Amino acid sequence: TSVSLENIEPNGSTVQYVGTVNQEVASLRYYNLRTESASNKTLVGDIEVTNSLGIGAGSTLVAGDNDITVTGSGEHAVEMVGHFNAGTSTFTYASGSETTVEAMDYYSLDLGNGNRTLSDANVIGVAKDLIVPETAYTYIVDGSTVEFNGNEKQIIPAFTFYNLAINDTAMRSNT
């Protein structure tokens, strides 16, 4: 049986990809999106999550070259227990409200427009760009570590880091 997701109303719903085989994640606007089970969940296009994105134990969310925008706010807008394979994606925290940036590896990380707390639970890895808006927002960085770990030249933005790690052999510069 095939289920069409094209007409889902995102208000208050949760879509869970729970198969034990690899699955494709539809290019949609979700309210809550969850992945579970020991398999890859691969994006087939850009997605937007308006409340909460959960990457569950055993699962790997594979972004490829598709972008992820999370407009949810608070401490649990993104919860990662499993794995995230960023590919060449841009991951945007787009809420205008205070939001915690999950500690995981990103390709390009856009902090969006709003106050942000950088997680101190682990390392926030950036393989390409860390995009910090020009507008003055409050960034709580206590205990956090941001690691620039790309294989090509990266520009480190003007930003107050708590811990800054620079790994790999690529050239880095700051602005």
| Sheet with strand 60-62: strands edge to edge | 23-25, 40-43, 60-62, 83-85
For residue 164 the two structure tokens come to 């800054």
The helix, strand and coil proportions of the chain, stated in percent and rounded to the nearest 5, come to 0, 45, 55
pTM beyond 0.85: the answer is yes
Cα distances (Å, whole numbers) of residue 72 to 43, 48, 149 = 19, 10, 27
Measured CA to CA, the distance from residue 71 to residue 11 in angstroms comes to 13
CA angle 154-47-38, nearest 5°? Answer: 90
**3 state SS of 146:** strand
pLDDT 10s digits, 80-122: 999 999 999 999 999 999 999 999 999 999 999 999 999 999 9
Number of residues that make up the chain: 175
What pLDDT, on the 0 to 100 scale, is given for residue 23?
96
Model pLDDT for residues 126-143, shown as the tens digit of each residue: 999 999 998 889 999 999
